[in-house]
Amino acid sequence: MDPQALARAIEELIANADGRYIDSLGRIQTTLNSELLAILKDLELDSEGYIKQSAANRKILRDADKVINEVFSSTPYTTAVSKYVSLIGKIDTLNSEYFSSIDESFSPNKLFLKNLQADTIASIEKNVMRDGLQSQVIEPLSKILNQNVNSGGKFSGFLEQIRNYILGNDQVEGRAMSYTRTYLRDSLFTYSRTYQQAITADLGLTYYLYSGGIIDKSRPFCEERAGKYFSHKEIEDMASLEWAGKKQGTTESSIFLFAGGWNCGHQIIPVSSVVVPQDVIDRQ
């Protein structure tokens, strides 16, 4: 397996999972919007269509908060996340096949992989199913509900605001889709890059192919580098540059894991010096 084939295989794997997740979460968001509308339609309004500040409306808000939490702890949501995370084993297999093809001495470090898997899964659970989901998706939605009732907002505008937040519009995705999907994609690409980087030192590899990017709209930083070979030092030096989408905390070491930043589908794949063009070697 060559590095381009590895990059394509991992990207296609994540792209297919991403498509299935979009379908699943789309249905979940539609369910959430419908269930909230069924509750919010009973809000007391004044004669001009503004929401009354009443005890009855406060109770409706509590019922709405309950529905929001139930939807995001439901089996459909947890199953959709779990199916995405299940790609980890397949990513391991692809990386193992690649490194075995370039060095017969390669043997996966099972303890390292076990710990890496556990850390990745724990991070996803925290940010996509618990704390991060709460702060980035659930609490802002609850805030929209409370602000409109507390301020006596216009009911029609309130419903539009809720719909745009949950389902999105022509310009943006629904908030849950945007946040959780980005986190899941980035987590799996970072997992794969971390696996690859861990093997680099063991096999004495010092060159890389900046590869991939078939499933996202590439930013200029990546477009300039995709398909090209670089030395370890050249990759490190890239971290000092500035570009749109760069992750905070991108350093000489973390750039191998973060690549182009948020939503980046590119991979910095270690390669044997045998496949590196002579002009790249001479450049050093």
Residues 71 and 174 in one domain: yes
Higher pLDDT, 211 or 133: 133
Residues 122 and 160 in one domain: yes
Residues 132 and 218 in one domain: no
Structure tokens at 206: 């010092």
Range of the domain at 226: 205-284
Condensed to tens digits (0 to 9), the pLDDT of residues 25-57 reads 999 999 999 999 999 999 999 999 999 989 999
What is the reported pLDDT for 229? 93
Residues 67 and 113 in one domain: yes
Single residue among 148, 175, 203 that ends a domain in this structure: 203
Do the Cβ atoms of 1 and 98 come closer than 8 Å? Answer: yes
Single residue among 150, 185, 203 that ends a domain in this structure: 203
Condensed to tens digits (0 to 9), the pLDDT of residues 102-146 reads 888 888 888 888 999 999 999 999 999 999 999 999 999 999 999
Segments in 103-138 forming alpha helices (H): 110-124, 131-133
| Mutual angle of helices 3-40 and 175-203, in 10-degree steps | 160
What is the reported pLDDT for 216? 55
Alpha-carbon distances of 32 from 66, 134, 181, 241, rounded to whole Å: 11, 15, 17, 42
Q: What is the torsional sign of CA 64, 31, 69, 154?
A: negative
What is the reported pLDDT for 28? 97
Written as one letter, the residue type at 82 is S
Short-list 80, 60, 61, CA closest to 72: 80
What is the reported pLDDT for 105? 83
Buried b (16+ CB within 10 A) or exposed e, 8-19: bbbbebbbebbe
Q: Which helix (H) or strand (E) segment is 24 a member of?
A: helix 3-40
Do the Cβ atoms of 53 and 152 come closer than 8 Å? Answer: yes
Q: Is the pLDDT of residue 98 over 80?
A: yes
Residues 233 and 166 in one domain: no
Q: Is the pLDDT of residue 214 over 70?
A: no
Residues 166 and 235 in one domain: no
Count other C-beta atoms under 10 Å from residue 53's C-beta: 12
Do the Cβ atoms of 155 and 3 come closer than 8 Å? Answer: no
What is the reported pLDDT for 202? 81
Residues 118 and 194 in one domain: yes
Residues 154 and 14 in one domain: yes
Q: Is the pLDDT of residue 213 over 70?
A: no
pLDDT band at 280 (very low <50, low <70, confident <90, very high): confident
Mean pLDDT of the chain: 92
Q: Is the pLDDT of residue 81 over 90?
A: yes
Residues 247 and 170 in one domain: no
Residues 35 and 130 in one domain: yes
Q: What's the total number of domains in the chain? A: 2
DSSP per position, 204-247? T--EEEEEE-TTS---HHHHTTTTEEEEHHHHHHHTTS--TTPP
pLDDT band at 1 (very low <50, low <70, confident <90, very high): confident
Residues 163 and 248 in one domain: no
Condensed to tens digits (0 to 9), the pLDDT of residues 221-233 reads 988 998 999 999 9
Q: For 151-175, what is the mean pLDDT?
A: 93
What is the reported pLDDT for 198? 86
Share of the chain above pLDDT 70, in %: 98
d(CA 210, CA 259): 9
Written as one letter, the residue type at 98 is Y
What is the reported pLDDT for 46? 94
What is the reported pLDDT for 262? 87
Single residue among 141, 169, 203 that ends a domain in this structure: 203
Pair type for strands 228-231 and 266-271: unpaired
What is the reported pLDDT for 27? 97
Q: For 92-103, what is the mean pLDDT?
A: 92
pLDDT band at 215 (very low <50, low <70, confident <90, very high): low
What is the reported pLDDT for 159? 94
Condensed to tens digits (0 to 9), the pLDDT of residues 137-161 reads 999 999 999 999 888 889 999 999 9
Residues 193 and 210 in one domain: no
- What beta strand segments (E) does 54-189 contain? none
Q: For 172-195, what is the mean pLDDT?
A: 94
d(CA 120, CA 81): 13
d(CA 275, CA 3): 10
Backbone angles phi, psi at 271, to 5 degrees: -135, 160
Q: Is the pLDDT of residue 191 over 70?
A: yes
